[in-house]
Amino acid sequence: MRHFLFLLTSAAFLPIPAFAQDAPAPAEDQSASGEIIVTGTRFANRTVTSSPVPIDVLNAEAVRGSGYDETTEILRQLAPSFAFATPTTPDGNTHIRSASLRGLSPDETLVLLNGKRVHTAAWVNTGGTIGKGSVPTDLNQIPSAAIGRVEILRDGASAQYGSDAIAGVINIILRADTAIHGTASYGTTYDGGGDTYALSLGGGFKLGDDGFVNATVYYRDHKAANRAEPDTRQFYLGISPTGTPQPLSARYGSGTGLNAPGGVAGTVRDPREATVDRNVWRFSDSGDIEEVTGIVNFAKPLGSVELYGFGGYRVSEAHSNASFRRPGQDENVRALYPDGFLPFINTRSTDYSAVVGVRGEIGGWDWDLSSAYGGNEIEYRTENTLNATLGTASPTRFYNGEYANSQWTTNLTVSNGYEVGFASPLDVALGVEYRRDGYRIGAGEPNSYAFGPARILDGPNAGAVPTIGSQGFAGIQPADTVDTSRDAVGAFAELGAEPARGWRINLAGRFEHYSDFGDSWNWQGSTRLELGAGFALRASAGSGFHAPALAQQYFSSTSSRTIVNNSTGFPEFVLVRTAPVGSPLARALGSQDLKPEKSQSFGGGLTFARGGLTASVDYYHIDIDDRIFLSSNYVDASGSRRLRDYLAGIGIPGVTSVRYFTNAADTRTQGVDVTIAWSGDVGDWGRLKLTGAYNHNTTRLRRVSATPGQITSLGITTPLFDVNERTRVQYGQPRDKVALGANLKVGIITIDVRTTRYGKVEQVALTNQSPANVALAAQGATKFRTQPTESGTAGNLDIIQQLDPKWVTDLSITGQVTRNVALTIGANNLFNVYPTENIRSTAALTGGDTSGAFPYSEFSPFGFSGGYYYVRLGVSF
């Protein structure tokens, strides 16, 4: 509620000038194909159709006409090679979508705002989801109501922009109009849950005759749509014939009579198993989130120079959950939670940014000098939880610590054109840049990580050490805290010209020096040749790099979660330690200093533009060496304690799994992008726009690093980059994507329909399965393939499940009620399509949904909330 009040208070200060109706036409009213683009070039003479590299331009009408609230969701529907999965993992995933281009890592796409680098998140994606190990940029900090247009460069651009621009660049251009605008919307899912309220209000005014200010505030309140099913496992300790408590069974149906309870022969179930409420999980593709955002953009000529600036502030608070702790688990203190508990993780993410610059012209040189500062902070709190080592005295809520980062970038760019006898002037651009990155980890309260004196109070393991720290998200320990920074300086040069009419060549080069890992040189060349009749050929080649983020080098955490033991094939609760690369723990297990990722890419295609029709076909090939990933979780083989005893021997008790960041692999990504668009009048029907896009993408591993000898010497057979990690990278995103759209304007009515086909996705469903179990899995309808298990019993198999391709259709109808008021009703996922279900457990087979609660995969490229319908009221003056 306080966020809503903040929105109203902010709105009171929005400018509402009397001359607002006389404002110039917004940028979004211009033709996308003829509009000058600013991404991927330092020269103001390029349009989409004349660009030698593929660029998608999404105007404001397309962006805000979508029925989706999040900017990442909007881009997923409109951009051909843009994708992200919708994981249930708590913490930063609730705030930040790990979105990517061309199937690559989220931090291999650079995000710009008005052409200036946007800070990344303080959060590191450490969950078992798409984008694992990456430090993404949160696109949702820019609400759609503040966007003038989006330019998406589908080509490497490190030579122009530096680190991260391997897959491409997303440049969000803020509104520069002075119209007063506002929206109010409400939506919910067909099958319950997912209620979403969203409000935006913005406007601007002129600064004299030649300047402007535009401001937008945005508020959203979203509730999770729970798609969990009842947990059928055994909840309470079994009772032996002699009355001795017996351990739990993790098998599906062991609490409902479909499978026997754990323990010795003759063990019976606790009578409470028959009456307990088994709807104990929350399983959604987003948690509860409430957010408020403010964005400002301005420019004002002052004599011979122009002063400009922009920035934003966003606060989002999220409520998500970890895994349910059954009453009989050793992680529970049964005196506090006799029926178990579901830990909740509350996070508060704050983004801030401010950019100020001046630009002008002197001696024929256009120049632009700017300085930008921004950052992100995420605080963690848990509730409905406990620290079992504190026993019955344990608090049930904790402050667990925070992560924060900052980025300060200052750059100067100059450009000019020289007549050298070519068909066009020789364009020259030069630039220098300084950037300072900061990263900080703050500790939680002592009780959140304390190794207390209490031991398991009862049950078969009474007296043993329980899991240490607050359940769901163990508090950040003082030993994990860090406050570090680095400097980077860079210089670039770019040349462009037409040696002959219709033939364009661009060359660019960049040098950067980082204080933590050294130098990087990168280059790019591109060309475009007009063939006549509207056709043109284009091609590009170059190198790129991704500097290891400070978070990837210094991130440290200890958390309890469920992972699959590759030796048994069953999930187990462990305390997972992510160790900084340079820490004594990681060094003792074979870590090495992170190197920057380096890429070599080339591509080319054919374009067409004539009349109302534009089309393009582009091939791309990207080789990346030394990609940065999280290693596998190193867990003792079944029955062994060598790893945990080793760690206890060096002063880290209670940790049963370790991982760290590493340059684990080299990859090759290849694909094809196809786009087509047509617009024109259709007789008396009105104005029709048709769009189509297709992307086919494959990523394959060219090299995987060997497991360090320090790991194998402990008897651990898990590879550095195991089957889960390899499958995620190579098959975890759609093999192809088709997006079709039609927009028809008839009088005061606009009908917009879009349908998207998400191609095949694969995930590891089960590991180390006997041939008999594989035969049981084959009795279901779900498709899968098998391969010999890599770290289990000889002759056993790993099951790789296929998520089938699915079509998802969106429909909206907008009526212009008055000149200034529009009403939209619509449905996203009109036909209520759900992804392929996980391989289901049965009494004979314990599948990927061992608890019986998780019907869908976190790898689903379109979520699993089902259909969503909404109504939106918009005003504009």
List, for residues 270-287, the tens digit of each pLDDT value.
999 999 999 999 988 888
Residues pairing with 561 in the sheet: 574
pLDDT band at 651 (very low <50, low <70, confident <90, very high): confident
Contact predicate 657/576, CB 8 Å? yes
Q: What distance in Å separates the CA atoms of residue 198 and residue 178, rounded to the nearest whole number?
A: 22
Residue 784 and residue 802 in contact, taking contact as beta carbons nearer than 8 Å = yes
pLDDT value of position 574: 56
pLDDT at 12: 34
Q: Is the dihedral of CA 459, 463, 464, 470 positive or negative?
A: positive
More confident of the two residues 19 and 553: 553
**Phi-psi domain of 325 (left: phi exceeds 0; alpha: psi -120 through 50; beta: other):** beta
Beta strands in 631-659 (DSSP E): 634-635, 657-659
Q: How confident is the model at residue 850 (pLDDT cuts 50, 70, 90)?
A: low
Residue 825: what residue type?
A: I
* Contact of 621 with 601, CB cutoff 8 Å: yes
Measured CA to CA, the distance from residue 195 to residue 207 in angstroms comes to 40
Asked if the structure places residue 693 within a domain, the reply is: yes
- Residue 633: burial class (beta carbons within 10 Å; 0-12, 13-18, 19+): buried
Output the pLDDT for position 22.
30
Q: Is the pLDDT of residue 233 over 90?
A: yes
Element (H, E) at 38: none
Q: Where are the beta strands (DSSP E) in 501-570?
A: 503-514, 518-532, 535-546, 557-564
Local structure of residue 568 (DSSP, 8 states): T
Nearest in space to 141 (alpha carbons), one of 181, 109, 204, 95? 95
Name residue, tokens 């095949």: 760
Binned at pLDDT 50, 70 and 90, residue 584 comes out as: confident
- What confidence tens digit (pLDDT) does each residue in 522-533 have? 999 999 999 999
Tokens 């400097």 -> residue: 487
Model confidence band, residue 18 (pLDDT cutoffs 50, 70, 90): very low
- Judge whether 619 and 607 are in contact, CB under 8 Å: no
pLDDT in tens, 446-505: 999 998 999 998 889 898 888 889 998 889 989 889 999 999 999 999 999 999 999 999
- 3-class secondary-structure state, position 125: coil
Query: 194-230, pLDDT tens digit by residue?
Result: 999 999 999 999 999 999 999 999 999 999 999 999 9
| Nearest-angstrom CA–CA distance, 307 and 204 | 17
- Rounded to whole angstroms, the Cα distance separating 479 from 451 reads 14
| CA distances, 670 to each of 85, 152, 435, 517 (Å) | 20, 18, 32, 29
Residues near 1 by Cβ (< 8 Å), separated by ≥ 6? none
Cα within 13 Å of Cα(481), Cβ side: 11
Q: What percent of the chain has pLDDT over 70?
A: 91
* Residue 452 near residue 389 (C-beta atoms within 8 A): yes
pLDDT tens for each residue of 730-780? 999 999 999 999 999 999 999 999 999 999 999 999 888 999 999 988 887
pLDDT at 107 over 80: yes
Each residue's pLDDT tens digit, 235-260: 999 999 988 999 999 888 999 999 99
Rounded Cα–Cα distance for residues 665 and 629 (Å): 8
Do 513 and 584 contact (CB within 8 A), yes or no? no
What DSSP state is assigned to residue 831?
T
Q: Tell me what pLDDT residue 2 has.
A: 45
Could you tell me if 442 and 402 are in contact, meaning their C-beta atoms sit under 8 angstroms apart? yes
**Residue 679 confidence (pLDDT) above 50:** yes
CA proximity to 512, closest of 442, 409, 585: 409
pLDDT digits (tens, 9 = 90+) for 168-189: 999 999 999 999 999 999 999 9
Q: Using an 8 Å Cβ cutoff, are 378 and 348 in contact?
A: yes
Domain residue limits at 711: 2-231+279-876
**Residue 14 pLDDT level (bands cut at 50, 70, 90):** very low
Residue 64 is inside which H or E element, if any? helix 60-65
Measured between alpha carbons, how far is 213 from 180 in angstroms, rounded to an integer? 12
Say if CB 729 and CB 701 are below 8 A apart: yes
H/E segment holding residue 854: none
Distance CA 459, CA 328 (A): 8
**Any bridge partners for residue 367, and if so which?**
360, 414
pLDDT of residue 27: 33
Q: Quote the Cα angle for 441-378-452, to 5°.
A: 60
**Cβ contact 676:627 at 8 Å:** no
CATH, residue 39: 2.40.170.20
Examine residue 249 and state whether it is found in any structural domain, yes or no. Answer: no
Does the pLDDT at position 46 exceed 80? no
Question: DSSP labels for 198-242?
Answer: EEEEEEEEEETTTEEEEEEEEEEEE----------S--S-EE-TT
Q: Which of 427, 411, 399 is nearest to 373 (CA)?
A: 411
Residue 251 identity (one-letter amino acid): R
Q: Give the dihedral of Cα atoms 38, 40, 41, 46; nearest 10 deg.
A: -60
564/571 Cα distance (integer angstroms): 4
Q: What is the largest CA-CA distance in the chain?
A: 99
Q: The sheet that has 761-769: what strands, in order across it?
A: 761-769, 797-803, 784-788
Write out pLDDT tens, residues 110-166. Answer: 999 999 999 999 988 887 788 888 999 999 999 999 999 999 999 999 999 999 999
pLDDT at 13: 33
Terminal Cα-to-Cα distance of the chain (whole angstroms): 28
**What is the rounded CA–CA span in Å between residue 456 and residue 331?**
8
Sign of the dihedral defined by the CA atoms of residues 581, 90, 562, 701, in that order:
negative
Q: Are 259 and 251 in contact (CB under 8 A)?
A: yes
Contact status, residue 255 vs residue 278, Cβ threshold 8 Å:
yes
Q: What percent of the chain has pLDDT over 90?
A: 68
Residue 706: CB atoms within 10 Å: 11
**Which helix (H) or strand (E) segment is 587 a member of?**
helix 584-588
Q: What is the mean pLDDT of residues 299-307?
A: 95
Task: For residue 662, give both structure tokens.
Answer: 């590493």
How far lies 555's CA from each of 224, 480, 808, in Å?
Answer: 29, 8, 38
The full length of the chain comes to: 877
Instruction: Tell whether 252 is covered by a domain.
Output: no
Question: Residue 43's pLDDT band (boundaries 50, 70, 90)?
Answer: low
368 domain residue, yes or no = yes
Contacts of 396 (CB under 8 A, 6+ apart): 336, 383, 384, 385, 386
Whether 239 maps to a domain, the answer reads: no
Q: Average pLDDT of 348-368?
A: 96
Confidence of residue 565 (pLDDT cuts 50, 70, 90): low
Indicate whether 265 belongs to any domain.
no
CB atoms within 10 A of CB 748: 12
Question: Structurally, how many domains does the chain consist of?
Answer: 1
Average pLDDT of the segment spanning 354-361: 97
What is 426-455 written as a DSSP string? EEEEEEEEEEEEEEEEE---HHHH---S--
Assess whether pLDDT exceeds 60 at residue 20: no
Q: How confident is the model over 329-335, as a mean pLDDT?
A: 93
Confirm whether 238 is domain-assigned: no
Residue 626: how many CB atoms within 10 A of its CB? 20
- pLDDT category of residue 605 using cuts at 50, 70 and 90: very high
pLDDT in tens, 696-731: 999 999 999 999 998 998 888 889 998 989 999 999
Beta-bridged to residue 809, according to DSSP, are 755
**Mean pLDDT for the chain overall:** 89
Q: Is residue 63 within 8 Å of 164, Cβ to Cβ?
A: no
The residue written with tokens 């006799």 in the block is 338
pLDDT of residue 575: 61
pLDDT of residue 280: 95
Sheet holding 55-59, edge to edge: 55-59, 147-153, 168-174, 109-113, 116-117
pLDDT of residue 45: 61
Other CB atoms closer than 10 Å to residue 772's CB: what's the count?
Answer: 9
Residues 809-843 have pLDDT tens digits of 999 999 999 999 999 999 999 999 999 998 888 88
The answer to whether residue 577 sits within a structural domain is yes
The pLDDT assigned to 560 comes to 54
